[in-house]
């Protein structure tokens, strides 16, 4: 009989499956003898980054100390996995109300804390503003003089722009836009970092998915994947002609890491260059799961009809080829949700 330990090991294996072979020595040696802070360590990007650095510690024998902060919750099996690891430490802290001690200095700060799901940043407006403004200003006190600040921004900054957007493009939304709290706070965060930090990278992320997501994730791709597992039919709610480019988490982490040793003071779009209509993506999920689609008419407030974002800048810098196609990424994400569901049932 399969037990909780079995599913825990399966989940850990997925978080550990990133391929270090694609990284050059210079791209990882930059982290040796460093202290790293990851805010939002319980989120999709943060948790995978934790496991990436742990892999460098274990497999590449690098001397790295990582602090990860989270506010709401983190997977219990992740905490127990790192329980005896003196190189990885977790802190539950609300960064909007409490500061990290000024005595803690870091060589790299990955500011990944925030609400990437529309329903959540709309519910948590004040925290969203603070995480992208006052919290950034406070974290500057924790960065070593020659340290690098890495900020997770969003492609929603381009909202309202129907052209293909590169890093010099702008959107055309105003303060009355339904997602203004997210869009405008990210714009402020970028502006503050550009003007106040001497060494930074900003990544405008589009629709990253994969192992590490939680069962309560409300983003549309994850919701449809979960319905393909746990429901008899897959309910979908309009927006089928919306274009999306989904980037699997392993590619996202590798692109961020590879950029750090190659560039500074730059903005990069972080997304897949392959765009598909949501209808095509949903049909692929239905085919993989052998389920039928059940279409309902609905509208997601403020959801952009077209997101055409160019990732040519970062691909050229890195000479990088995205390795995980949508089919394989969906299969891996479904497997994650199955293991996660079974783990919490036991």
- Kindly state the average pLDDT of the residues 16-33: 95
User: Can you tell me the mean pLDDT for 2-14?
Assistant: 94
Mean pLDDT of the chain: 91
What's the pLDDT score for residue 32?
97
Q: Report how far residue 73's alpha carbon sits from residue 59's, in angstroms, rounded to the nearest whole number.
A: 28
Q: What is the DSSP letter of 99?
A: P
Q: For residues 94 and 72, give the distance between their C-alpha atoms in angstroms, rounded to a whole number.
A: 8
**Stretch 33-59: mean pLDDT, rounded?**
96
Distance CA(212)–CA(158), nearest Å, equals 27
**Domains within the chain, CATH numbers bracketed:** 4-345 (3.40.50.720)
Q: How far apart are CA 40 and CA 43, in angstroms?
A: 6
Position with higher pLDDT, 167 vs 301 = 167
Residues 258, 317: Cα–Cα separation, whole Å: 9
Residues 6+ apart with CB under 8 A from 80: none
Does 230 have pLDDT greater than 60? Answer: yes
Coil/strand/helix, residue 45: helix
pLDDT for res 305: 55
pTM for the predicted model, two decimal places: 0.93
Nearest alpha-carbon partner for 152 in 251, 38, 56, 261: 38
Residue 304 pLDDT: 55
340 burial level (CB within 10 Å; 0-12, 13-18, 19+): buried
SS3 208: strand
pLDDT at 86 over 70: yes
pLDDT of residue 237: 73
Give the closest residue to 337 by CA, choosing from 207, 208, 212. Answer: 212
Banded model confidence at residue 297, pLDDT cuts 50, 70, 90: low
> Does residue 246 carry a pLDDT above 80?
yes
Which pLDDT does position 147 carry in this prediction? 97
* CA-based nearest residue to 320, from 268, 282, 281: 268
Burial class (CB in 10 A: 0-12, 13-18, 19+), 314: buried
Please check whether residue 311 is in contact with residue 166, taking contact to mean a CB–CB distance below 8 angstroms: no
Q: List, for residues 183-225, the tens digit of each pLDDT value.
A: 999 999 999 999 999 999 999 998 899 999 999 888 889 999 9
Cβ neighbours of residue 222 closer than 8 Å, sequence gap 6 or more: 209, 213, 333
List, in sequence order, every beta strand (DSSP E) within 21-103. Answer: 34-39, 64-70, 88-92
Q: Is the distance from CB of 88 to CB of 47 less than 8 angstroms?
A: no
**Which residues are CB-neighbours of 191 under 8 A, at least 6 positions away?**
none
Using alpha carbons, select from 210, 241, 257, 277 the residue that is nearest to residue 43: 210
Determine the Cα–Cα distance for residues 13 and 158; give it in Å rounded to an integer: 36
- Residues 3 and 215: their CA atoms lie apart, in Å, by 20
């Amino acid at each position: 009989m399969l037990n909780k330990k079995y599913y825990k090991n399966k989940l850990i294996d997925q978080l550990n499956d990133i391929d270090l072979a694609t990284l050059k020595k210079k791209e990882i040696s930059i982290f040796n003898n460093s202290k790293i802070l990851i805010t939002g360590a319980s989120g999709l990007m943060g948790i995978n980054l934790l496991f990436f650095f742990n892999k460098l510690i274990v497999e590449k024998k690098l001397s790295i100390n990582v602090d990860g902060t989270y506010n709401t919750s983190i997977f219990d099996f992740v905490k127990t996995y790192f329980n005896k690891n003196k190189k990885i430490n977790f802190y539950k802290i609300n960064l909007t109300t409490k500061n990290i001690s000024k005595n803690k200095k870091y060589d790299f700060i990955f500011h990944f804390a925030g609400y990437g799901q529309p329903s959540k940043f709309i519910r948590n407006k004040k925290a969203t503003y603070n995480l992208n403004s006052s919290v950034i200003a406070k974290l500057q006190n924790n960065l070593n003089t020659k340290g690098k600040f890495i900020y997770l921004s969003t492609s929603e900054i381009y909202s309202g722009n129907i052209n293909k957007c590169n890093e010099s493009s702008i959107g055309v939304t105003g303060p009355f836009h339904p997602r203004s709290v997210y869009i405008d706070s990210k714009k402020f965060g970028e502006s503050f970092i550009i003007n106040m930090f001497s060494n930074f990278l900003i990544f405008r992320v589009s629709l990253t998915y994969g192992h590490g997501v939680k069962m309560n994730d409300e983003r549309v791709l994850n919701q449809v994947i979960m319905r393909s597992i746990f429901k008899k039919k897959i309910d979908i709610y309009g927006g089928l002609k919306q274009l999306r480019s989904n980037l699997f988490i392993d590619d996202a982490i590798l692109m961020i890491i590879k950029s750090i040793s190659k560039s500074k003071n730059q903005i990069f779009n972080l997304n897949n260059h392959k765009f598909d209509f949501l209808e095509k993506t949903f049909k692929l999920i239905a085919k993989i799961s052998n389920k039928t689609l059940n279409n309902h008419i609905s509208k997601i407030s403020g959801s952009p009809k077209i997101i055409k974002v160019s990732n040519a800048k970062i691909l050229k810098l890195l000479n990088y080829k995205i390795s995980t196609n949508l089919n394989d990424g969906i299969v891996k994400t479904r497997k994650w949700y199955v293991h996660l569901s079974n783990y919490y049932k036991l």
